Amino acid sequence: MSEAIAQAQPGSAHGGTVFDIGYQPYTGLREGRSRGRRAIFKDGVRTALGFGRGGRAKILPWFCIVALSALGLVFAIVAAAANAMAGPGAAEKAGIPSHSDFNGVASILVFVFAAVVAPDLLSPDKRNGVINLYRVRPITGTDYIVSRWAAFLSVMLIAIWLPQIVLFLGLSGSDPVPWDYLTKHWLDIPRSILAGAAMAVYATNLAMLAASYTTRRAYASVFLVGLFVISAPFTIGISQQIEGAAGIWMSMFTLTNIPVHVNDIIFGKVSEIADRAPALKLGSAVLVAWYFAWTIIPGLILWSRYRKLAS
Amino acid sequence: MRRGVRTGVREAKGGIMTTGQPLLEIEHLTKQYGKVVALNDVSFRITDGITGILGENGAGKSTAIKILLGLVRPTSGSARVLGQDASHSVVVRGRVGYMPEHDCLPTAVSAAEFLTHMAEVSGLPPAMARTRAADTLRHVGLFEERYRAIGGYSTGMKQRVKLGQALVHDPAFVMLDEPTAGLDPAGREDMLTLIRKTHREFGISVLFSSHLMADIERTCDRIIVLQAGRLVQSGEVEQFTKETETVFIEVDSNREALMAALEKRGVVVTIERSGFTIQGRDETVYDHVRDALVEAHAPLRRMAPRRRALTELFERDGERALDGEAA
């Protein structure tokens, strides 16, 4: 039964009646866990990019994304200028940084991005108690953490691939015959995708794991910045002072270099940022295995921490 | 106005179909945390309506709710929700709502966005989730404020958002853990009204946990009383209140003679500061009072029917249960 809560004045222009139809039970489709997973993924992406939040929540993620893209643009402009001044292919001959160098140069910014954004996807849920509401929804702990992980990985991939796209468009656009550039350098496309994904997964796993241990976003961010940024000069300095196996292994703990070594293996050339690392002496297989260890183990620990969130 | 009350769940998918069956069912449930027994061989069934689960802090209310939500596994016994084993069914949570006692709200997002998200997590398609979120916020009285960040809400508004998120996916059953905690008298009254409305107008059955007798008494159809992990009482609230009906009598003089005359007639008398109370309110009791007053020549100053608070009944039953245990 409906209740009239307001009625237009007789003779008014529309003469309509507004009804409060009261509470209506939901009889539509219920999509279960799959919808729940997608909802958490979507919310994770929105949270990471600051959508639906205040202006301040957008500053850091968008600053990092714009800065990374700007870096790609600078690479492209420098290469275009070199080609314009010294002729086609001059930038490549002069060793001006390109796709293979981008991830190495941008790695610090990528890790800062992970450090400031990843905790936003996990820490506030614990701090505000929202996690208790997810526990009683028709999803499992694995659904929750995998969806959050996938959301942040997606944002990381956007942040890493976007500058590579900018760079590729810039380099091909600056070539007198863009199609020639494309045919000569098409392999840079899959390599950039793969190397970018390797860096994104690595940063995502470590950042999400650190975030899972605290309810305070700031603590996780400070820890991660310390881990990624401050530890690097320390381990690089020591590894170059110590000779032999100890120096090499110390070099392995330069966390920012671990995905850069993989990037170099994918592109088949050593980028400038890691060319003096003693760890290079260990060979590609060890470096790749080391990368997987630092990626898979944190991922498994992260999963195990949330697996039993709700059975 | 009472709308069509649902006595079960209509959806058959996933084996959830309980029309005519209890919505919640606990049998010989025991939960131990190390040496601490949180629940001790508790059994009860809950059907349609508003059921209050009453007990002091540590009585086992929250443990019972956590077991029913599948968050904690029982040491022994079984808990079934909408016909499904609470420990093993993720699907059934799509038809159950839960309002926790403690903070559970994000601060940076609006109530509309939060409820939409929670509806989607419960399995509703995005377009329906948005509609349900707006409708639910209107029903809990937050429609005008729905686009404000939750962080700026008052305690009462936050409690409404908590209730809203528990209702947004149209559950068959909603569990409310201390929903009036931290509210001022006006806010508390509003929340109790909303809880009554949740069942009587929305047709959603409610399990309402509280340590406040008055809230339970005014809101619930049935009551379950837990004390130290044991089930002390369960049944209709009306039945309990009938049991507690008494008559208060005050006389100017000859009080002892009146008491003796009443006791001679088999009436149970309890002495109070200014008078005494007698059990029961049927016609026979009034006849006995009249005859005893005449016999004792006691001038009657005041006689009034009174209903003893449920607290007294449960205190008495609790003491009995504990005495029995000690024996």
Q: If we measure between CA atoms, which residue out of A219, A213, A210, A227 comes closest to residue A298?
A: A210
Give me chain A's average pLDDT, please.
87
CB within 8 Å: A33 and B71: no
B110 DSSP 8-state letter: B
Query: From the centroid of its chain, how far is CA A246?
Result: 32
Are B158 and B105 a contacting pair, CB within 8 Å?
yes
CB within 8 Å: A25 and B108: no
CB within 8 Å: B123 and A133: no
> Over 80: is that where the pLDDT of A189 sits?
yes
> Over 70: is that where the pLDDT of A286 sits?
yes
Chain B residues whose beta carbon lies within 8 Å of the beta carbon of residue A135: 69, 71
Residue B324 belongs to a domain = no
Residue B7 belongs to a domain = no
CB within 8 Å: B124 and A35: yes
In B, minimum Cα distance to A51 occurs at B109
Chain A residues whose beta carbon lies within 8 Å of the beta carbon of residue B124: 26, 28-31, 35
Residues B250 and B175 reside in one and the same domain: no
Of B90, B105, B109, Cβ closest to residue A138: B90
Residues 68-87 of B with CB under 8 A from A: 69-71, 73, 87
Among candidate residues B192, B207, B235, the one where a domain is terminated: B235
User: How confident is the model over A187-200, as a mean pLDDT?
Assistant: 94
Residues B260 and B300 reside in one and the same domain: yes
pLDDT at B110: 94
User: Which tens digit of pLDDT belongs to each residue from B56-81?
Assistant: 888 888 899 989 988 888 999 999 99
pLDDT at B12: 37
Q: Measure A17 CA to nearest chain B CA, in Å.
A: 19
Helix (H) or strand (E) holding B161, with range, is helix B155-167
Among candidate residues B235, B254, B269, the one where a domain is terminated: B235
Are B326 and B228 a contacting pair, CB within 8 Å?
no
**Pairing relationship of beta strands B205-210 and B50-54 according to DSSP bridges:** parallel
Return the amino acid letter for B236.
Answer: E
ipTM of the complex: 0.84
Chain B residues whose beta carbon lies within 8 Å of the beta carbon of residue A137: 93-94, 118, 121-122
Query: Residue B270 CB: number of other CB atoms within 10 A?
Result: 11
CB within 8 Å: A36 and B123: yes
| Residue of B121, B150, B207 best to disrupt the A interface, most CBs of A under 10 A | B121
CB within 8 Å: B93 and A124: no
pLDDT at A44: 96
Residues B182 and B258 reside in one and the same domain: no
Residues B203 and B143 reside in one and the same domain: yes
Residue B312 belongs to a domain = no
Residues B54 and B89 reside in one and the same domain: yes
The structure's pTM equals: 0.81
Chain A interface includes B13 (CB < 8 A): yes
Are A68 and A160 a contacting pair, CB within 8 Å?
yes
User: What distance in Å separates the CA atoms of residue A200 and residue B267, rounded to the nearest whole number?
Assistant: 82
What b/e string do you get for B212-222 counting C-beta neighbours within 10 Å, with b at 16 or more? Answer: ebebbbebbbb
CB within 8 Å: B201 and A32: no
Q: What is the CATH number of the domain that holds B147?
A: 3.40.50.300
Residues B265 and B137 reside in one and the same domain: no
Query: For residue A290, what pLDDT band results from cuts at 50, 70 and 90?
Result: very high
**Beta bridge pairs of residue B85:** B80
In B, minimum Cα distance to A55 occurs at B108
Q: What is the CATH number of the domain that holds B277?
A: 3.30.70.100
Number of domains chain B is built from: 2
In B, minimum Cα distance to A144 occurs at B121
Give residues with Cβ within 8 angstroms of B13, minimum separation 6: A30, B91
Length of chain B: 327
CB within 8 Å: B110 and A52: yes
Query: For residue A18, what pLDDT band results from cuts at 50, 70 and 90?
Result: low
Instruction: Locate A79 and state its tokens.
Output: 């290469």
Residue B321 belongs to a domain = no
User: Which tens digit of pLDDT belongs to each residue from A26-47?
Assistant: 999 999 899 999 999 999 999 9
Residues B216 and B280 reside in one and the same domain: no
> Over 70: is that where the pLDDT of A200 sits?
yes
Higher pLDDT, B239 or A296: A296
> Over 50: is that where the pLDDT of A295 sits?
yes
Q: How far apart are the first and last CA of chain A?
A: 41
Chain A residues whose beta carbon lies within 8 Å of the beta carbon of residue B13: 30
Q: Measure B10 CA to nearest chain A CA, in Å.
A: 9
Range of the domain at B284: 245-307
Residues B81 and B111 reside in one and the same domain: yes
Helix, strand or coil, per DSSP, at residue B231: strand
Query: Packing angle between helix A99-117 and helix A119-128, nearest 10 degrees?
Result: 10
CB within 8 Å: B108 and A54: yes
Among candidate residues B179, B206, B235, the one where a domain is terminated: B235
- Give me the residues of chain B with pLDDT under 50, please: 1-5, 7-19, 322, 324-327
Of B3, B108, B122, Cβ closest to residue A138: B122
Residues B292 and B221 reside in one and the same domain: no
Residue B110 belongs to a domain = yes
Are B41 and B214 a contacting pair, CB within 8 Å?
no
User: How confident is the model over A209-217, as a mean pLDDT?
Assistant: 93
Chain A interface includes B10 (CB < 8 A): yes
Return the amino acid letter for A216.
Answer: R
The DSSP line for B27-56 is: EEEEEEETTEEEEEEEEEEE-SSEEEEE--
Chain A interface includes B135 (CB < 8 A): yes
Residues B209 and B261 reside in one and the same domain: no
Radius of gyration of chain B (CA): 24
Q: Measure B178 CA to nearest chain A CA, in Å.
A: 15
Of A27, A128, A139, Cβ closest to residue B107: A128
Query: For residue A12, what pLDDT band results from cuts at 50, 70 and 90?
Result: low
Of A1, A35, A40, Cβ closest to residue B125: A35
The DSSP line for chain A is: --EEEEEPPTT-SS--EEEE-------S---HHHHHHHHHHHHHHHHHHTTTS-THHHHHHHHHHHHHHHHHHHHHHHHHHHHHHH-TTHHHHTT---HHHHHHHHHHHHHHHHHHHTHHHHHHHHHHTHHHHHHTSS--HHHHHHHHHHHHHHHHHHHHHHHHHHHHHHHHHHSSSHHHHHHHHTTHHHHHHHHHHHHHHHHHHHHHHHHHT-S-HHHHHHHHHIIIIIHHHHHHHHHHHS-HHHHHHHHHT-TTTHHHHHHHHHHTS--GGGTT-GGGGG-HHHHHHHHHHHHHHHHHHHHHHHHTS--
Helix (H) or strand (E) holding B119, with range, is helix B111-121
User: Which tens digit of pLDDT belongs to each residue from A122-162?
Assistant: 999 999 999 989 989 999 999 999 999 999 999 999 999 99
Could you give phi then psi for residue B242, rounded to 5 degrees? -65, -40
Residue B204 belongs to a domain = yes
Residues B83 and B155 reside in one and the same domain: yes
pLDDT at A11: 46
Are A148 and A208 a contacting pair, CB within 8 Å?
yes
Residue B313 belongs to a domain = no
Residue B155 belongs to a domain = yes
Distances (CA, A) of B81 to A189, B74, B95, B96: 53, 14, 10, 9
Residues B191 and B295 reside in one and the same domain: no
Are B2 and B46 a contacting pair, CB within 8 Å?
no
Instruction: Locate A151 and state its tokens.
Output: 């959301």
User: What distance in Å separates the CA atoms of residue B73 and residue B50, rounded to the nearest whole number?
Assistant: 25
CB within 8 Å: B93 and A31: no
CA pseudo-torsion sign A52, A57, A58, A64: negative
The residue with tokens 């009860």 is B44
Are B18 and B82 a contacting pair, CB within 8 Å?
yes
CB within 8 Å: B90 and A40: no
> Over 90: is that where the pLDDT of A88 sits?
no
Are A216 and A127 a contacting pair, CB within 8 Å?
yes
Chain A interface includes B291 (CB < 8 A): no
Q: Measure A249 CA to nearest chain B CA, in Å.
A: 44
